[in-house]
Structure 1
Amino acid sequence: MDKKNIVCTSSILGADMHVITYGKKGLPVVVFPTQGQEPESLEEVGVVDELADYIDSGVIQLFCTETVDDESWGGQGDPAERAARQESYYHYVVDELVPLVNKVSKSGARPLALGFDAGATQASIVALRRPDLFQGCVCLSGCYDARRYFGDWMDATLYENTPCAFLPNMTPEHPYVAVYNQRQLLFCTGQEASEADSLRSTRVMDEQLARLGVEAWCDYWGADVAHTWFWWKKQLRYFLPIVLADVEKTTAAEKPAKKRATTRKKAAAPKAAAAEKKPAAAKAATATKTTAKAAAPKKAATTAKAAAKPAAKKAATTTKATAAKVAAAPKKVAAKPAAEKTAKAATPAKAEKPAAPAKAVKATAPAKATKAATPAKAVKPAAPAKATKAAVPAKATKPATPAKATKPATKGKATK
């Protein structure tokens, strides 16, 4: 088992406070010994051995601290000075010890406060006054009423360190009430005569926490359960696994919010990366288009050659083949557009009307005309509109019938 002795020089208390750590990782547990005892006493009475399996497996890490109970709760001097000393000890814990625990544990978890006898009193004070810093408390046989140590004397400072005094004045609307319900608050006592002060004050705590709507666990063991280490170790062994499971459940409920924030950041990163990639993709697309344009003449030439063969077989694709040839021969660009315009002029809507007879299509066979002459030659005879009209009219094809061929009147109408 890993054990370290740390000296915390407290500017608040004006003294060196000894802290003994057990374990390397896990949920940090700040342990307060019984009144007037040193941190080593917890190991001597067997508490550390009782929790060895939790410590060695990295479930918990103990931080056993020193106290000043002999100057506060157990002191015999001026009550105001004793109360002030207790308040200083409280500030030592929350302002100096907790940061030290966080630094050493590196777990980022809120520590759990654990105490026995007067140590349970200290554990309850820090957990109830600063639930934002502590995950909760496990208090065994503590007395939460200062009258045990101060009688009927009370001032504002002692009031702040007396749970049985400030809880009755807390309202259900107090912001700490909601936080208490997200913490593990356990108070246990036996009912044997030596537990009289603990039993009485635990019942007050139970009543007040219930009034506030806080789901704290106040447990009362039998009449044979005395104020001794024998029972505290049994209680600790019984309660700890339950409390740890509840801590894990409670803290797990806090994780989704953190995960959502992390997920959003992770989701935003790919989007940002995608946004950065878009310009590159756009540039790539532009480069592709530019390359495609640059390569267009070569591709057009290849396409023209490939398209020339189907054009010879299908008369309907003559115009497309001609366009491909225009792309293949850039020198004759000026002449071929004229040819295309002429070709379009040579095939007016009138040419579509007489195209119904199959014989007329065979007679005109524009595809053969294209084969017989180059596009330039096709332009020359087709240029005059009159020549086109003489070759295309359907009536010129009809002379195949003798009776109709001898009618001059029909030609007169054609001239009109």
Structure 2
Amino acid sequence: MTENYYKWHSPHLGRAFEMLVFGEEGYPLILFPTSMGRYYESKDRGLIDALRWFVDQQLVRIYCPDSIDSHSWYNRHIPPAERAYNHTLYDKVLLHEVLDRAVQETGVQRVAVAGCSFGGYHAANFAFRYPEKVSYLFCLSATFDVRSRLDGHYDDNVYFHNPVDYMPDNTDAALWRMGIILGVADNDVARHQNERFSGILAAKNIMHWLDIRPNAVHDWPLWKEMLPYYLSLIK
């Protein structure tokens, strides 16, 4: 399995940004790390190995960007408004640096995005903000509400990056053309958020699958079972 490491100066962040890419051909999948995770987390945790068959068969090419959670939502040492603003910079990195690269390299105009736990938040937020650029969304034990990270602060940057808030008013036609899976364990700290968000999608008649796995918890063994199956559904 081909593995390439990339590091470049991000004009949006004003500093270096890192990413791993697995495979040479196939459908582009942007795979986000969990809370404060790094670009190599999915490899170190065995998730990339769980997807090896898809990479070896040249069915997917996996892009694993770094996160800046420790400088945004999870940074309690800066004001909450600055946390939210920093995330808007990350959003620009994803759109103009990561996504553009994936599209250019694969020739596919609408990518797949996925993430586990807080990585699922990143995947969902990106997909729902840019549905014309995302064809498949695979959330694994995701969270969809970041307000608990902001000490009561609320502004436009929070609203436009908080899926539970902006999705009820989101009328982009591409939402109804996206393949959406919300995967979660029956004994999962994120189960309530997934059930709530499934209700938001259902109220808009947006097709999706709420996949509640029995006898499972919020952890990597579950996610390593889920994601290969979800990738097998890409047409």
**In structure 2, what is the Cα distance between the partners aligned to 1:118 and 1:60?**
22
Partner of 1:237: 228
Tell me the secondary structure at the aligned position of residue 5 of structure 2: strand
Q: Aligned partners of 2:185, 2:90: CA distance in 1, in Å? A: 28
CA contact (8 A) 2:185 2:218 kept: yes
Q: Whose radius of gyration is greater, 1 or 2?
A: 1
| Structure 2: unaligned runs, 5 residues or longer | none
In the TM superposition, what is the alpha-carbon distance from 1:151 to its structure 2 partner?
4.6
Q: Which amino acid aligns with 2:53?
A: D
Contact 1:23 1:62 in 2 (8 A): yes
Distance 1:239 1:29 in 2: 12
Deviation at 1:15, TM superposition (A): 1.6
Matched with 2:54 is 54
The amino acid of 2:145's aligned partner reads D
CA contact (8 A) 2:128 2:167 kept: no
| Pairwise CA RMSD | 1.4
Calculate the TM-score normalised by the size of structure 2. 0.94
Q: 1:137 touches 1:184 (CA, 8 Å); kept in 2?
A: yes
Kindly state the Cα deviation for residue 237 of structure 1 after the two structures are TM-superposed: 2.4
The 2-side partners of 1:208 and 1:151 are apart by 25
User: Residue 218 of structure 1 aligns to a residue in which SS?
Assistant: strand
Counterpart residue number, 2:169: 169
Structure 1: 4+ residue segments shifted above 4 A: none
Aligned to 2:97: 96
Q: Contact 1:39–1:65 at 8 Å: present in 2 too?
A: yes
What residue number does 1:217 align with? 209
Matching residue's letter, 2:228: R
List aligned pairs for 1:248-259, cutoff 5 A.
248=235
User: In 2, are the aligned partners of 1:94 and 1:133 still within 8 Å (CA)?
Assistant: no
Is contact 2:183-2:210 (8 Å) kept? Answer: yes
Q: How does 1:67-78 map to 2 (within 5 A)?
A: 67-76=67-76, 77-78=78-79
Q: 1:232: Cα distance to partner?
A: 0.6
Q: Which residue of 2 aligns with 1:264?
A: none
| Aligned-pair CA distance for 1:104 | 2.6
Give the superposition deviation at 1:13: 1.0
Instruction: Report percent identity of matched pairs.
Output: 23
TM-score, normalization: structure 1? 0.54
Give the match for residue 85 of structure 1: 86
Cα distance in structure 2, aligned partners of 1:158 and 1:125: 11
Q: Output the CA distance in 1 between the equivalents of 2:22 and 2:226.
A: 20
Residues 289-336 of structure 1 show CA distances to partners (whole Å, capped at 9, x for unaligned) of: xxxxxxxxxxxxxxxxxxxxxxxxxxxxxxxxxxxxxxxxxxxxxxxx
Is the contact made by 2:81 and 2:153 (CA closer than 8 Å) also made in structure 1? no
Q: Does 1:203 align with 2:195?
A: yes
Q: Map 1:181-330; keep pairs closer than 5 Å.
A: 181-192=176-187, 195-196=188-189, 198-222=190-214, 224-242=215-233, 244=234, 248=235
How many Å separate the matches in 1 of 2:87 and 2:97? 15
CA distance in 1, matches of 2:202, 2:37: 33
User: What residue identity is the alignment partner of 1:119?
Assistant: G
Give the Cα separation in 2 of the matches to 1:168 and 1:154.
Answer: 18
- 1:154 shift after superposition: 1.6
The secondary structure found in structure 1 opposite 2:17 is strand
Task: Pick 1 or 2: higher relative contact order, CA cutoff 8 A, min separation 6.
Answer: 2
Is 1:134 matched with 2:130?
no
Does the Cα contact within 8 Å between 1:117 and 1:142 map onto a contact in 2? yes
Task: Give the helix-richer structure, 1 or 2.
Answer: 1
What is the letter of the counterpart of residue 207 of structure 2? Answer: E
Answer whether contact 2:80 2:151 (CA < 8 A) is retained.
Answer: no
Shift, 1:211, TM fit: 0.9
Distance 1:214 1:141 in 2: 19
Query: SS at 2:110's partner residue?
Result: coil
Aligned-pair distance for 1:153?
Answer: 2.7
C-alpha distance in 2 between matches for 1:200 and 1:154: 22
- Give the aligned residue type for 1:211: A
